């Protein structure tokens, strides 16, 4: 058993958690969304300054809620890649400093590995292999989870991430940031068949389309053209219908690829993670398709879908149990493929 204090500051949430193997003892999340909303997206410099202001209090609060002092902590972890460099540096520097002061092992964690581990917090008996559909503001990936630290990315987006597409389309519809939850809410009142929108496909040189890769930039442009046409006609924008049609197109496209991938690789379980896993349209399509194909689909609770330190702590505890620790010379990286996770130890 390993009890880890983990820090996540890769983007716009300052989060600190205490995790005992797959059990979350505390998970403090200080969201910066209200700060960034006025700019319509995350401003990196503002994000890192805000992490500096919040992190000490979040660390103290995480220990307090877990009812532990440093004597009960076996290791200290922080997200080290991928993410905003200035933001990552705040969390990583805090974790290294605490590790030195309290003589604890230090671990750098890959943010996407954290999203994979989010599922274990609510499904502690789950074991690899399984497929992870990771859909967030920065990533859209289909990952073959083989073991702790061992992953194969089978599908990716070639342009915008799914969450990014939600945020950009929300901006086109004059809605607030982040766009995903707002579109999800509006889509409930709209007709998903109101507009026929194109599902992005990636052609392969040998002919046909890539079965698992996706693309959302064409869909975003199609929504832009639609909005421009409707605005030129001076008709009132049917925002709910556009939101519902867009959401349905994204959900169908992701579901089709995830199910095909699971069936082709003989994987019986699909764990969905990342902020877009909160989407009601995606949940509906995935659950329906999974039951038709006799597959199990797992959605972590919302608090573990969006960025949080509990998922980072869960991954760190597993690595620590296997004797993996990172050197204090480890730096942050804005990009790092998931296949390179074991280079961190």
Residues in touch with ligand KG4 (CB under 6 A): 11, 136-138, 163-164, 166-167, 178-181, 184, 274-276, 278-279, 306-307
Q: Tokens representing 159?
A: 């342009």
Cα separations in angstroms, 321 against 3, 45, 146, 244, 316: 10, 36, 17, 45, 9
Roughly what angle, to the nearest 10 degrees, separates helices 111-122 and 309-321? 90
Cβ proximity to Zn ion: between 119 and 136 the closer is 136
CB of 150 to ligand KG4, least distance (A): 22
CB of 13 to Zn ion, least distance (A): 9
Q: Which does 222 bind (CB under 5 to 8 A by kind): Zn ion, ligand KG4, none?
A: none
CB of 89 to ligand KG4, least distance (A): 17
Is the separation of the CB atoms in 59 and 43 below 8 Å? Answer: no
Cβ proximity to Zn ion: between 117 and 212 the closer is 117
- Residue among 12, 287, 33 nearest 179 (CA): 33
Number of residues that bind Zn ion (CB under 5 A): 2
Cβ proximity to ligand KG4: between 105 and 179 the closer is 179
For residues 178-207, which are near Zn ion according to CB under 5 A?
none
Q: Which does 279 bind (CB under 5 to 8 A by kind): ligand KG4, Zn ion, none?
A: ligand KG4
Quote the CA–CA distance of 318 and 150 in Å, as a whole number: 12
Cβ proximity to ligand KG4: between 3 and 278 the closer is 278
Q: Using the rule CB under 5 A, which residue among 20, 27, 136, 253 binds Zn ion?
A: 136
> What is the distance of C-alpha 283 from the center of its chain?
15
Is the separation of the CB atoms in 160 and 217 below 8 Å? Answer: yes
Quote the CA–CA distance of 155 and 104 in Å, as a whole number: 37
Q: Which does 200 bind (CB under 5 to 8 A by kind): ligand KG4, Zn ion, none?
A: none
> What is the distance of C-alpha 337 from the center of its chain?
15
Cis peptide bond upstream of 19, omega within 30: no
Part of the chain binding Zn ion (CB under 5 A), chosen from 71-79, 129-137, 170-178, 295-303 = 129-137
Cβ proximity to ligand KG4: between 3 and 24 the closer is 24
Burial of 320 (0-12, 13-18, 19+ CB in 10 A): buried
Quote the CA–CA distance of 27 and 65 in Å, as a whole number: 8
CB of 96 to ligand KG4, least distance (A): 23
Q: Which does 156 bind (CB under 5 to 8 A by kind): Zn ion, ligand KG4, none?
A: none
Cβ proximity to ligand KG4: between 99 and 304 the closer is 304
Q: Which does 192 bind (CB under 5 to 8 A by kind): ligand KG4, Zn ion, none?
A: none
- Residue pointed to by tokens 């608090």: 303
Q: Which does 77 bind (CB under 5 to 8 A by kind): ligand KG4, Zn ion, none?
A: none
The residues near 174 (Cβ < 8 Å, ≥ 6 apart) are none
Cis peptide bond upstream of 178, omega within 30: yes
Q: Which does 178 bind (CB under 5 to 8 A by kind): Zn ion, ligand KG4, none?
A: ligand KG4
Quote the CA–CA distance of 283 and 45 in Å, as a whole number: 34
Cβ proximity to Zn ion: between 226 and 316 the closer is 316
CB of 65 to Zn ion, least distance (A): 22
Please list the residues that pair with 16 across neighbouring strands.
Answer: 7, 28
307 contacts Zn ion (rule: CB under 5 A) = yes
Cβ proximity to ligand KG4: between 68 and 85 the closer is 85
Binding residues for Zn ion, per CB under 5 A?
A: 136, 307
């Amino acid at each position: 058993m390993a009890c880890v204090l983990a820090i996540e500051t890769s983007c716009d949430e300052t989060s600190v958690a205490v995790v005992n193997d797959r059990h979350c003892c505390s998970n403090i999340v200080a969201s910066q969304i209200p700060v960034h909303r006025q700019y319509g997206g995350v401003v990196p410099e503002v994000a890192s300054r805000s992490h500096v202001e919040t992190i000490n209090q979040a660390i103290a609060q995480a220990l307090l809620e877990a009812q532990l002092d440093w004597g009960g902590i076996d290791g200290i972890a922080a997200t080290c890649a991928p993410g905003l460099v200035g933001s990552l540096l705040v969390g990583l520097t805090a974790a290294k400093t605490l590790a030195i002061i309290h003589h604890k092992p230090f671990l750098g964690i890959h943010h996407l590995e954290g999203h994979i581990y989010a599922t274990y917090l609510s499904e502690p008996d789950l074991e690899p292999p399984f497929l992870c559909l990771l859909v967030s503001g920065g990533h859209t990936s289909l990952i073959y989870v083989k073991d702790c630290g061992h992953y194969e990315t089978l599908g990716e987006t070639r342009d915008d991430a799914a969450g990014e597409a939600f945020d950009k389309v929300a901006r086109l519809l004059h809605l607030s940031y982040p766009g995903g939850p707002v579109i999800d809410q509006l889509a409930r009142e709209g007709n998903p068949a109101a507009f026929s929108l194109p599902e992005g496909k990636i052609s392969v040189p040998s002919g046909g389309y890539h079965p698992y890769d996706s693309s959302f930039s064409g869909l975003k442009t199609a929504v832009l053209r639609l909005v421009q046409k409707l605005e030129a006609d001076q008709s009132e924008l049917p925002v709910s219908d556009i939101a519902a049609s867009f959401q349905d197109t994204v959900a169908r496209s992701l579901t089709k690829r995830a199910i095909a991938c699971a069936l082709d690789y003989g994987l019986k379980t699909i764990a969905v993670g990342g902020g877009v896993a909160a989407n009601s349209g995606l949940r509906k399509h995935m659950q329906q398709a999974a039951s038709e194909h006799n597959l199990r689909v797992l959605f972590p609770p919302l608090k573990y879908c969006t960025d949080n330190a509990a998922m980072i702590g869960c991954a760190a505890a597993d690595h620590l149990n296997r004797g993996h620790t990172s050197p204090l010379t480890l730096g942050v990286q804005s990009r790092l493929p998931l296949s390179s996770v074991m280079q961190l130890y």
